[in-house]
Amino acid sequence: MKKVWVIIKREYLIRVRTKAFIIGTIISPLLMLALILLPAFLATRGGGTRQVTVIDQSGDATLFEAIKSRAEATNETDNTGGSGRARFANTRYELSRISLQPGENIEEVKTRLSDEVKEDSNKAYVVLPAGVLDNAAPEYYAKNVSDPAIRGIEQAISTSVIERRLTRAGINPAEISGYMKSVDMRTIKVGPEGESEESGVPTFIIAFVMLFFIYITILFYGIFVMRGVIEEKQSRIVEVLVSSVKPFQMMIGKIIGIGLVGLTQYAIWILSAALLSFFGAKMFASTGADLPKIPASLVIYFIIYFLLGYFLFATLYAMVVAMVSSEEDAQQVQFPVTILIIIPMMVFSLVMNNPNSPTSVTLSMIPFFSPTLMMLRIAVDPPPWWQIGLSMILMIVTIFGAIWLAARIYRVGILMYGKRPSIAELGRWLRYS
């Protein structure tokens, strides 16, 4: 045990003292935070100004003013007057009108405006055809038609056309506006603690972040173990090590030492998250947003499944890399193990949408998928305790089986150089005692 402790200490210290560990520990959570907050931040920034010319063939003298009025009533506006500036999705639109009679030639006007659009991406034009108050569809011409702000103009036109249709039918839109108001449905989560109103977004964010961190760290530290073994084989340090410690002790010490590095990073990240929740709550509250509350039990499950998943996959990585003696060969033999980590990410949405379906329950019970999929189920809709316990037991049994198998391959393969073992040779290794 003393020799194993020495190996654990060595593997731990040589990694936590590196600049890569310090930078990764600080940068990784910042990148994840930026990945979540940056889109929301950018959405609040100005999207520029679009000059939109409305070619009005509707024959309705009030339609254009209704569109502009609706836009200004439902979106932020400035007070500069003029043609009226409306803000849609933080993009400012300047609307101007060209009135044409139904029989007038529109092609010349469209050609001129299209030339302007080609020269300036901030210009666009809309055609309100003669039958727009019946069934004809308006048309929007721009260099960039993927701008989400287009939906704002579409909504303003749609609402204004509906109002004008009602007016022509002798119905006052103001009298029925209350009946046409959309219905917003509240979502209430029912859990062990009772009922709580929740949009579902915080749960999704927590589940996704936890799933992603387990996935990336198991993959990252598993490959760490693999590269540590291959480096020792290539430098022949392993020949010196096995003269004083057993290969099994060396494998276990390496796996535990690198696993403690991962736990150290998690401890720093969890502490940082706790501080952010404590000091940043008032800042988020002032913006109208609430920080998602993470139960302590969820953090405990998170650590348990990380440890179980790490030990399982680190053992598998150590086992397969012991068969080869070069980085190139290691990249090939690790592929089946890596696939086992990737598959849960491919079925993420299936389990997220229905965490208690037979398929989700079965997948989460498979030891290779449990660290991510069972953790996802716990975050979204906690399953019965026996399912959680059974998944842990199955993982522990699989880990011991993998260690037994890896130890037999590792103790022979760790000293093999220059060739890959055949299936028959692997069989002899396993029978060797």
Tokens of 75: 């979106």
Mean pLDDT value across the chain: 76
- Calculate mean pLDDT across residues 112-141: 87
Domain region containing 78: 49-176
> Residues 393, 395, 401, CA angle at the centre, nearest 5°?
105
Residue 80 clears pLDDT 50, i.e. is over it:
no
Question: Among residues 120, 146, 176, which one ends one of the domains?
Answer: 176
pLDDT for 397 equals: 94
Give the rounded distance of the alpha carbon of 292 from its chain centre: 16
> Residues 148, 53, 102, CA angle at the centre, nearest 5°?
115
Residue 126 clears pLDDT 50, i.e. is over it:
yes
Question: Among residues 131, 146, 176, which one ends one of the domains?
Answer: 176
Considering the domain architecture, whether residues 34 and 67 belong to the same structural domain is answered as no
- Calculate mean pLDDT across residues 70-78: 53
Considering the domain architecture, whether residues 202 and 155 belong to the same structural domain is answered as no
- Comparing 400 with 168, the larger pLDDT belongs to 400
Considering the domain architecture, whether residues 109 and 224 belong to the same structural domain is answered as no
Give residue 45's pLDDT band: very low, low, confident or very high (50, 70, 90). Answer: low
Considering the domain architecture, whether residues 54 and 36 belong to the same structural domain is answered as no
Q: Which residue has the tokens 């003269």?
A: 243
pLDDT tens track for 100-122: 876 678 888 888 999 988 888 88
- Comparing 184 with 116, the larger pLDDT belongs to 116
Considering the domain architecture, whether residues 231 and 116 belong to the same structural domain is answered as no
Considering the domain architecture, whether residues 132 and 234 belong to the same structural domain is answered as no
Give residue 40's pLDDT band: very low, low, confident or very high (50, 70, 90). Answer: low
Tokens of 236: 């022949």
- Comparing 219 with 423, the larger pLDDT belongs to 219
Flag the least confident range among 20-34, 231-245, 387-401: 231-245
Considering the domain architecture, whether residues 65 and 33 belong to the same structural domain is answered as no
Considering the domain architecture, whether residues 16 and 114 belong to the same structural domain is answered as no
Considering the domain architecture, whether residues 161 and 205 belong to the same structural domain is answered as no
Instruction: Please state, in angstroms and as integers, the Cα–Cα distance from residue 105 to each residue in 55, 57, 111, following that order.
Output: 11, 10, 11
Contact 354, 360 (CB under 8 A): yes
Residue 403 clears pLDDT 90, i.e. is over it:
no
Ordered strands of the 49-56 beta sheet: 85-88, 91-99, 49-56, 123-128, 139-142
Considering the domain architecture, whether residues 402 and 347 belong to the same structural domain is answered as yes
- CA 265 – CA 177 distance, rounded (Å): 56
pLDDT for 191 equals: 57
pLDDT tens track for 285-302: 444 455 556 677 888 888
